[in-house]
């Protein structure tokens, strides 16, 4: 999904970034959105800047947010005469061991579902309108403690029916069951579904098989099969969808699973 990126720390980082896994969720709006190549270039610059930024985690995350805002603002100023613009909603998630630090800019949402509890992270008054329209930015920080099987959903728009699907989960459903339930929404669907698992700090990217999607005139399909998976670190096991029974056998494998919702 354009605008979604998840990376583990490279070998060389600034002091303080060595154990940080970075997830970038960027949702664009406006009449002149970035092309996929422009978006990829922007994401690459974001990753490089984050891992080159020493100091506190919050300062590094805010520096990344400012860089995205500057890039979009300069682009918008160059197209003002044609009435063209692009704005962005942003969620940054940094996972360090079991702690996940979130930055929200714009009226974005994050939902954390754990054993016996859940939390809807959203405050439009603090996170502001988004990026690309002003030199000043507003950011809203939050933290959650990730446990095995916890779910984290990030999105720009929060469908109404997700209130019951996510916030009433006790305990969190499996990844496939959650995916199936969330994709049946009638609202706008632009989100990422993340699941924490025991492991050694790798990230697995799961992609649905889009070839199985049908037209709007046909009933919804069950959960799309996984077409491919990519691990951003060397992994001792093949990265294929695994059942809950297999998790214990592969406890040294994937830690976080990023599932774009389509």
pLDDT digits (tens, 9 = 90+) for 206-224: 876 555 544 444 444 343 3
Q: How far apart are CA 161 and CA 153, in angstroms?
A: 14
Print the domain residue range for 58.
4-261
Q: What does the pLDDT read at residue 249?
A: 37
- 10 Å CB burial of residue 259 (0-12, 13-18, 19+) is buried
Q: What does the pLDDT read at residue 205?
A: 84
Contact predicate 238/186, CB 8 Å:
no
Taking alpha carbons only, the member of 257, 250, 194 closest to residue 231 is 257
**Cis preceding linkage at 258, omega within 30:** no
Distances (CA, A) of 169 to 172, 178, 245, 261: 5, 10, 21, 18
Phi, psi (deg, nearest 5) at residue 240: -125, 160
Positions in the chain short of pLDDT 70? 169-171, 187, 208-262
pLDDT digits (tens, 9 = 90+) for 96-152: 999 999 999 999 999 999 988 889 999 999 999 999 999 999 999 999 999 999 999
Contact predicate 96/147, CB 8 Å:
no
The CATH number for 135's domain is 3.60.40
Q: How far apart are CA 84 and CA 78, in angstroms?
A: 9
The alpha carbon dihedral of 160, 167, 118, 183 has a sign of negative
Q: What is the pTM of this model?
A: 0.79
Pairing of strands 202-208, 226-231: antiparallel
Domain count, the chain: 1
Q: What does the pLDDT read at residue 176?
A: 83
């Amino acid at each position: 999904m354009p605008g979604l990126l998840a990376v583990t720390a490279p070998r060389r980082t600034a002091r303080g970034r060595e154990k940080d896994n970075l997830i970038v969720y960027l949702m664009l709006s406006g009449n002149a959105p970035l092309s996929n190549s422009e978006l990829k270039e922007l994401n690459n610059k974001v990753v490089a800047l984050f891992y080159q930024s020493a100091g506190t985690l919050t300062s590094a995350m805010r520096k990344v947010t400012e860089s995205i805002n500057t890039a979009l603002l300069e682009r918008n100023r160059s197209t003002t005469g044609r009435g063209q613009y692009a704005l962005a909603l942003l969620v940054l998630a940094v996972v360090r061991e079991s702690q996940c630090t979130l930055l929200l800019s714009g009226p974005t949402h994050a939902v954390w579902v754990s054993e016996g509890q859940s939390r809807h992270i959203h405050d439009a008054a603090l996170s502001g309108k988004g990026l690309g329209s002003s030199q000043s930015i507003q950011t809203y920080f939050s933290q959650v403690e990730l446990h095995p099987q916890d779910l984290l959903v990030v999105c720009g728009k929060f469908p109404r029916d997700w209130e019951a699907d996510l916030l009433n989960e006790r305990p969190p459903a499996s990844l496939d069951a959650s995916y199936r339930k969330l994709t049946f929404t009638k609202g706008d669907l632009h989100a990422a579904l993340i699941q924490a698992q025991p492991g050694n700090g790798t990230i697995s990217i799961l992609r649905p098989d889009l070839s199985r999607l049908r037209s709007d005139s046909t009933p919804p399909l069950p959960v799309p099969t996984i077409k491919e998976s990519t691990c951003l670190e060397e992994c001792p096991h093949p990265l294929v969808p695994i059942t809950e029974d297999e998790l214990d056998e592969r406890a040294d494998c994937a830690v976080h699973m990023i599932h774009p919702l389509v």
